[in-house]
Chain A
């Protein structure tokens, strides 16, 4: 067991993937000698040579399109999109080719590849550097969408993603890059790819979160415990595949559910989770499933992002509205009337 940051865990995973499979190639903007703007590829060019880890021209559709051709040719590319919003030029390649090639060819031409996307905010980034873009990918059939919340998951889920027979969009929460925790390099600590993890057990309500919102959920659960409420926290780990079983069994047990996402709420991943929980747990629910999300606004400038990001108080406020006192929550009606 080693203690390292998520950035170091990702770097270690790439190093082990490159060392373990000569078909693995790492490329993107500034990933070579610089080691990437977040240093996730630090030292890889020096260790494996410029043939295995290299800088590309500055064109994201080209990076992903190149990876498509290389995967068709038998390689396993791991490409970096420098920031969430900088991946948009590649969206046509991702939606029309990466996601569909296996299906278009009746399974004859799979595309094992990983698209790494540093995403979301909370780091004081200026515009176009903090988007939560996971819903675009999760809505696209044929893509697996992963987002780790711990260094151990960062290591193991990235190793899994590189070995996966399908394309994976690997979303790295930027603000957790420097969070330290233990990583079991020789044996994984959490469940396998595609399974959610119960990060904290509790009996009164379930908080469902992923990526950057998992630590917020855990902090909220700690604060709620001070007030005598025992909250369970489920970390999705992979948005696609979605682990209905773990989420549903937790909510059936607690009877209450709050879904937390940093992204803007409308038509987001949280809406899908709330719908799925409601469809499957209706008779176990003592209160409506609530969502805690960012607002439906373009990502704010750095000095205002704290007003946008879901924090512990916003989560606790939602927990308070879960009708523990048997009173129906009509606050949203009052707001609409005022």
Chain B
């Protein structure tokens, strides 16, 4: 029998052995985890409203895709606790670096829904002004945004701002080299950044078991000297509590923080995907019972923080929001082909000016 003793520095960095949880799947209170304060009731009610709205938005975007109004939509249904807690843990002066699956978080952050959907509608790439809302363009190349987040965090520190950065990434993204470079750079630079891994169990079709042999993705922090935690990603109370702690840790100069949320992607990767080819419906049904919105609703109702009127009001607000989204996305503004040449450089090169003139003559040529 050998006895292993861990280095004292390790203890403060390792995640809990089991995911942090405040609320059980049936909505009853779980054993309160040590070290993480429970968020105030008012904040939780606000989170509930936003989750209801976020879910309705997600359903609307999926419907718009089926109608051909959006080219593609990667749904985050089932991940609302992560989407909303991730945003509620941010201050207005913090930055968010999202992925393509985080449109619900963008809308919760205050990005105009039509601008948030520009990428998927196909009118342009990023439709919003990143600096105005402190949200980086949604990132499609996996995990590449995590290094940008570190650079932005270091920029904030250099400018003397006490704000921090949150980078969203998925379970598949943790296999990319950039994710590991980002963790290492963040730790070495002691950058104020939180890496928030939404482990929704699938990278398109590839299940987590084929993605990693780690006991949990949260353990990827320890090798870089980064404090890490794992949390029940369908428990809004837990995700909000841990992310709030993580952001405060980053803002106070303690360095980066890695949080893994265990959640589940209820829908296929996108509308173009067929999830029945790689997972059983029984598995999906099992996760229905862990639904994050229903769980928070039960928890808040049981505590007298939420009444039927509040639920109805939240649903009504969500319906009104969805109607506004439908209206905006049906407007279909004309895309300007000459804009193609405008943003390649600050000033178009001579070659680009020639090519613009060529397109102009093509577009104005009389039809045969």
Q: Mark B223-245, 1 if CB is under 8 A from A, else 0.
A: 00000000000000000000000
Taking CB atoms, residues of chain A closer than 8 Å to B345 are 102, 142, 144, 165-166
CB of A103 within 8 A of chain B?
yes
Report which of B124, B151, B181, B349 forms a contact with A106, defined as CB distance below 8 A.
B124
Q: Is the CB of A106 within 8 A of B158?
A: no
B129 to A, closest residue via Cβ: A108
Interface residues of B in 330-346 (CB under 8 A from A): 339, 342-346
Name the one of A67, A141, A240, A245 contacting B151, with C-beta atoms under 8 angstroms.
A67
**Chain B 119-143 interface 0/1 with A at a Cβ cutoff of 8 Å (1 = within):** 0000011100111000011000100
Q: A59: which B residues are within 8 A, CB to CB?
A: 177, 181, 184-185
Chain B residues contacting A73 (CB-CB under 8 Å) are 151-152, 154-156, 158-159
Q: Indicate whether B84 reaches chain A with its CB closer than 8 angstroms.
A: no
Across the interface, name the chain B residue whose C-beta is closest to A244: B350
Which residue of the partner chain A has the closest CB to B157? Answer: A73
A105 near B130: Cβ-Cβ < 8 Å: yes
The answer to whether the Cβ of B144 comes within 8 Å of any Cβ in the partner chain is yes
Task: Name A95's closest neighbour in chain B (CB-CB).
Answer: B141
State whether B148 touches A166 (Cβ < 8 A): no
Residues of B within 8 A of A175 (CB): none
Residue of A nearest to B346 (CB): A165
Contacting pair A72 B152 (CB below 8 A): yes
With an 8 A cutoff between CB atoms, is A65 at the interface? yes
A92→B141 contact, CB < 8 A:
yes
Q: Give Cα A70–Cα B156 distance, bound, in whole angstroms.
A: 9
Question: In the complex, which residue of chain B has the Cβ closest to the Cβ of A164?
Answer: B346
Count residues of B near A (Cβ-Cβ below 8 Å). 39
Q: Within the complex, what minimum Cβ distance (angstroms) separates B322 from chain A?
A: 27
Residue from the list B126, B148, B339, B343 in contact with A69, Cβ < 8 A: B148
Which of A101, A107, A240 sits near B349, CB closer than 8 Å? A240
Residues of A within 8 A of B130 (CB): 72, 105, 108-109
Residue of B nearest to A102 (CB): B343
Residue of A61, A67, A244 with highest tally of chain B CB at under 10 A: A61
In Å, the complex CA distance between A107 and B159 comes to 23
A55 and chain B: residue at smallest CB distance:
B188
The distance from the CB of B321 to the nearest CB of chain A, in whole angstroms, is: 25
- Whether A74 contacts B159 by the Cβ 8 Å rule is yes
Q: Which residues of B contact A102 (CB under 8 A)?
A: 343-346
Nearest Cβ distance between residue A189 and chain B, in whole angstroms? 24
In the complex, chain A residues whose CB is within 8 Å of the CB of B131: 108-109
Q: Contacts A59-B185, A70-B152, A73-B152 given: A110-B346 contact, CB under 8 Å?
A: yes
Instruction: Report if A66 contacts B (CB, 8 A).
Output: yes
In the bound complex, how far is the Cα of B125 from the Cα of A107, in angstroms? 11
Chain A min CB distance to B136 (Å):
7
- The reply on A242 being an interface residue by CB < 8 A is yes
With beta carbons under 8 angstroms apart, the residue of A92, A108, A142 that contacts B344 is A142
Name 6 interchain pairs, CB-CB below 8 A, sorted by A.
A69-B154, A69-B155, A74-B159, A103-B344, A106-B342, A241-B349
Extra inter-chain contacts (15) besides given A70-B152, A241-B350, CB under 8 Å: A57-B181, A61-B147, A62-B182, A65-B178, A65-B181, A68-B151, A70-B154, A72-B130, A97-B144, A100-B125, A105-B126, A109-B130, A194-B349, A242-B350, A244-B350
